[in-house]
Every structure is written in structure tokens, then in C-alpha cells.
């Protein structure tokens, strides 16, 4: 997949994170959908099939771990990758996130220069 084909759903309740993603995606002319919680994301995924979902771990209502299971069950795109993100992490967080079934991990604050390349690498993994 090329960068021009990448579609992203961001699931995060922080408007500052929305703004950062919007700036990066707009710069690369990539489509971005935003959900403020897991329920909004699940509703979106009933009718849309993004290539990657960037999912905050600490959300109101369903947390990211609970949401991951629901996304895997209901996503229109069976190859949809799900990348966890959080600002609250330790040295073991990435291993735990991958063990729980996520396809990748983005620590906050994001490296905006490499964000799109990282998401593409996750999507292109076999």
C-alpha cells in the first residue's frame, strides 16, 4: 500500500490529539475519521473500512482493550490493523499491547514526522 491510499480512524477523547492527527493527515492529503470513544468507533466501523485504527487505551466507557475485541469482531475490513496509543506507559507497555492483539503501539506524544510511515509499515506487515 502507498501513502496516498492509507485511510485512518483515530479513536481518542483528547481534542489536542485530534488536531495533531488532522494536521499530519492533511499535510499528506490522507483521509482521517475521528471518533471520541469506542462506541462512536464501532458505529463508524459498521459502514466504513479504514486500513488502520489508532485506538487510545484510556477512553471513557469501553477502554481500548475492550474496544479491540469488539473491533476485531465487527470491522468490515478483516485486514484492518489496530494500533494502540497512550501517554501512560512503561518499558513493558509495548510488549503487553502486542500480547493483547494490537498490531502496533504509538507512544504519546507522537513523532509527527514518522507517523504516516509508521502507520504504513503496520498496514503493510503480513
pLDDT tens-digit profile, the chain (126 residues): 565 689 999 999 999 999 999 999 999 999 999 999 999 999 999 999 999 999 999 999 999 999 999 998 876 777 789 999 999 888 888 899 999 999 999 999 989 999 999 999 999 986
Beta bridge partners of 34: 10
pTM of the predicted model as reported, rounded to 2 decimal places: 0.93
Half-sphere exposure of 26 toward its Cβ, with a 13 Å CA cutoff?
A: 6
H helix and E strand count, the chain: 5, 5
CB 91 within 8 A of CB 110: no
CA atoms of 66 and 86, how far apart (whole Å): 15
Domains and CATH numbers, the chain: 3-124 (3.40.50.2300)
CA atoms of 51 and 2, how far apart (whole Å): 11
- CA dihedral (101, 44, 88, 112) positive or negative: positive
Amino acid at each position: 500500500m502507498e501513502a496516498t491510499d492509507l485511510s485512518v480512524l483515530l479513536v481518542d477523547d483528547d481534542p489536542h490529539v485530534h488536531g495533531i492527527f488532522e494536521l499530519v493527515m492533511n499535510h499528506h492529503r490522507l483521509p482521517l475519521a475521528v471518533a471520541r470513544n469506542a462506541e462512536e468507533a464501532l458505529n463508524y466501523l459498521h459502514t466504513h473500512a479504514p486500513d488502520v485504527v489508532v485506538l487510545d487505551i484510556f477512553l471513557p466507557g469501553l477502554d481500548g482493550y475492550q474496544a479491540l475485541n469488539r473491533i476485531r469482531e465487527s470491522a468490515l475490513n478483516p485486514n484492518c490493523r489496530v494500533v494502540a496509543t497512550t501517554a501512560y506507559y512503561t518499558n513493558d507497555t509495548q510488549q503487553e499491547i502486542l500480547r493483547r492483539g494490537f498490531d502496533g503501539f504509538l507512544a504519546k506524544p507522537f513523532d509527527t514526522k514518522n507517523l504516516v510511515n509508521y502507520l504504513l509499515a503496520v498496514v503493510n506487515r503480513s
